[in-house]
Chain A
Amino acid sequence: MTANFIYLSILVASIATYACRAFGVFSSKNLSVDSPIFHWIKCISVGIISAVIAKIILFPVGLLSETTSISRIASTLVAIAVYFLFKKNVLLSVFISTATFLLINFYL
């Protein structure tokens, strides 16, 4: 793992990532927010994001893979419950869910 290879890897990863963004700018050139295509793409975007979240919570890699599935699922349900029970409070929901996650994994 030489320094040159790492910098080349970062360059390659940045090009791959920016290509998705730049192509997105190019494709949106004549797109109106009232067009059906715009709404179809929004559905796809939220579909992909929810798929990413499900994958991270159920099939994590790295540090999260050291934690139990039960803790991740239970904390996710807590986040949803707190969000709807406490007037859609984002901060409170994230905080209580993370606290629940740590409590189950390290103190129960």
Chain B
Amino acid sequence: MINFLSFKKGISHAFGVPAIGLGASMFTFGAYLKSSGFTLLESFTSTFFTFALPGQFVMAETIVAGGTLLNIFLAVLLTNARLYPMTVNIIPIIRHSNYPKWRYYLVAQFIAVTAWFNMFAVHKKINQDEKFDYFFGLAGFLWFVSVICTVSGFLISNYVSHKILVGFVFVNPIYFLVMTLTNLVEKKIITSIILGSILSIILFQFIPDWSVLISGLSAGTIGFLIFKKEKYDS
């Protein structure tokens, strides 16, 4: 069974800024796929099954550039590898005392940056056994909005000015940035965020494909080790 009240609260949380932040980028992705020669069904399928925007862009760009299936697999795996630590982090937070394993593998499909940050921002105010359904509502609704916005972007982008599309693309990184700012509480997190940004800029000059993963791994490890004795605030 599902706790519909918690599920609905999760949807209410997603409704508004989180949905607008993610939806704007998905709209632009739909517009991009149309301009690159993809069909409506292909655009729909991409967000429905993948639901991780940077990886979806990489997939589309690799197809357009004439890459092989192996190229696509490796490029997307590298781009979306951030989902691994994010999932390891969110599952213990939303763990329910008696939900079966398959539910976690189902909800995992909806784990992405927007839902992750928003859940971390509120989870302490939610009872442990209500967290799973709350997150299911929050992340599931964001997934649903993403699919709708991808399709809308494909269908109506011709009627939207270029300037607005450019503005839509910018909303997503800025929204992620502001959500990152909401996490500036613990010293180890602040250090990891600042170092991650700086290292990413430096490493991009030398190893562009690996810069994000190596920067994040190094920054997180350094931040954690320096402030290892800091009181945990999970």
The residues of A with any CB-CB pair to B shorter than 8 Å are: 1, 3, 5-25, 27-28, 31-34, 36, 38-59, 61-64, 66-67, 72, 75-76, 79-80, 83-84, 88, 90-91, 93-94, 97-98, 101-102, 105-106
Contact = CB atoms under 8 A, between A and B. Distances in A.
Nearest to B111: A21
10 contacts: A19-B77, A38-B234, A40-B221, A44-B220, A45-B89, A46-B196, A54-B200, A80-B177, A80-B181, A90-B178
A38 B89 contact: yes
A20 B212 contact: no
A10 B165 contact: no
Q: Is the interface of B mostly helix, strand, loop or mixed?
A: helix
Interface stretch (B5-13, B45-53, B142-150): B45-53
A47 B193 contact: yes
B192 A98 contact: no
B40 interface: no
A43 B189 contact: yes
Interface of B: 16-17, 21, 28, 32, 37-39, 42, 45-46, 49-52, 54-59, 61-64, 69, 72-74, 76-77, 80-89, 91-93, 101, 104-105, 108-109, 111, 113, 116-117, 163, 165-167, 169-183, 188-189, 192-201, 204, 208, 211-213, 215-221, 223-224, 228, 232, 234
B25 to A, nearest CB: 10
Given A13-B59, A25-B104, A45-B85, A50 B196 contact: yes
A57 to B, nearest CB: 6
Given A50-B196, A55-B204, A94-B175, A24 B83 contact: yes
A51 B169 contact: no
A30 to B, nearest CB: 9
Contact of B180 (A25, A46, A56): A46
Given A24-B108, A48-B220, A53-B176, A61 B61 contact: yes
Contact of A10 (B59, B88, B113): B59
Contact of B89 (A8, A13, A42, A61): A42
